Amino acid sequence: MAEGTPENPHTYPQGVPCWIENQATDVDAAVAFYGELLGWDCADRLPADAPERFVLATLRGKDVASIATADGVARWATYIAVDDVDAMTATAEAAGATVSDPPQDAGPAGRWSGLVDPRGATFRLWQAGRRLGSQVNNAAGAWNFSDLVTVDPASDLGFYRRVFGWEVEDMGSDAEAMIRVPGYGDHLEASVDPGIRTRQAGAPAGFADAIGAARTVDDGRSPEWHVTITVEDRDAAADAVRRLGGEVLGTREGTWSWTALVRDPGGATLTLSQPQLPESMR
């Protein structure tokens, strides 16, 4: 296990999404868009003569995401933490995944691999070295969740339960299923989200251990791990997306959040989410 830091003293537990990356066909355009939209500071981490770009995005000095050169199609990638990327890549392949990128080092930062699940959703595995994962979550401008958006959540989650041992609970209309890793709330409270228990005092039991949800594709999208980022004001953020050259595909007022599904200027989709308290808790 990688050594922690005072700001983020633990690696993410195995099976928990730990990092997001915008894979962009125009890295400079993506840096300009997300820097303005989310308040990110972005810095290249590879030499100028490298064949690809890797840009680290920070929010008030803490790591939140990366922007990198896309291999073809612009998209958001979600990384799932593992203790041994070689072993877990083999486990995922045996369970039906396709290996798109074999395990490889990312310098001293860690080791990763790329996979495609049996339905076609892409994801990555991350074995932490010096870079443990996102250092701030659930705050304006930072990552909120990555959700599995797929044709048949109940069936497709079987793959992930075999690989990662996830717990799954039907959540009715707001989500097809909530995905949990026991103990994740304890990790968040001790590291990147110390106020989680107070903020979620009225949430359903076990909600602090939620790592995401699985939802049914209902708008023609292909199966994917869909990234949601927190914003302070959904409508203001949607206006900024349009002003910066992106597109707002739809909005929704849910029980716990107001959201906007958007497409960035490069073509990658994501959701912007403004947290809300139910009327009964206001």
Q: Residues 92-143: pLDDT tens digits?
A: 999 999 999 999 999 999 999 999 999 999 999 999 999 999 999 889 999 9
Q: What is the mean pLDDT of the chain?
A: 90
Report the pLDDT value the prediction gives residue 146, as an integer from 0 to 100.
96
How far is it, in rounded angstroms, from Cα 226 to Cα 220? 14
Closest CA to 265 of 281, 243, 282, 239: 243
Evaluated on CA atoms 82, 88, 89, 91, the torsion sign reads: negative
In a domain, 247, yes or no: yes
How far is it, in rounded angstroms, from Cα 224 to Cα 246? 20
Q: Letter for the amino acid at 236? A: A
Question: Given pLDDT bands bounded at 50, 70 and 90, which one contains residue 3?
Answer: very low
**Dihedral in degrees, nearest 10, Cα atoms 170, 171, 177, 182:** -80
Report the pLDDT value the prediction gives residue 35, as an integer from 0 to 100.
98
Q: Which domain holds residue 186?
A: 17-281
Residues 6+ apart with CB under 8 A from 186: none
For 28, the 3-state DSSP assignment is: helix
Q: Would you give the distance in Å from CA 158 to the centre of its chain?
A: 20
Report the pLDDT value the prediction gives residue 214, as an integer from 0 to 100.
94
Question: Given pLDDT bands bounded at 50, 70 and 90, which one contains residue 205?
Answer: confident
Report the pLDDT value the prediction gives residue 4, as an integer from 0 to 100.
39
In a domain, 224, yes or no: yes
The token pair that represents 105 in the structure block: 């080092």
In a domain, 3, yes or no: no
pLDDT tens, 147-161?
A: 999 988 988 999 999
User: Which residue has 């990790």 as its token pair?
Assistant: 187
In a domain, 147, yes or no: yes
Contact yes or no for 252/230 (Cβ under 8 A):
no
Q: What is the mean pLDDT of residues 18-42?
A: 98
What is the pTM assigned to this prediction?
Answer: 0.91
In a domain, 7, yes or no: no
Question: Given pLDDT bands bounded at 50, 70 and 90, which one contains residue 219?
Answer: low
In a domain, 5, yes or no: no
State the DSSP code for 122.
Answer: E
Domain count of the fold of the chain: 1
Contact yes or no for 80/122 (Cβ under 8 A):
no
Report the pLDDT value the prediction gives residue 51, as an integer from 0 to 100.
92
Report the pLDDT value the prediction gives residue 34, as an integer from 0 to 100.
98
In a domain, 9, yes or no: no
Contact yes or no for 232/157 (Cβ under 8 A):
no
In a domain, 12, yes or no: no
Q: How many CB atoms sit inside 10 A of residue 45's CB? A: 16
Cα Rg for the chain, rounded, in angstroms?
Answer: 18
Report the pLDDT value the prediction gives residue 130, as an integer from 0 to 100.
93
pLDDT tens, 154-189?
A: 889 999 999 999 999 876 655 588 899 988 888 878
pLDDT tens, 69-99?
A: 998 899 999 999 999 999 999 999 999 999 9
In this structure, what CATH number is given to the domain that contains residue 48? 3.10.180.10
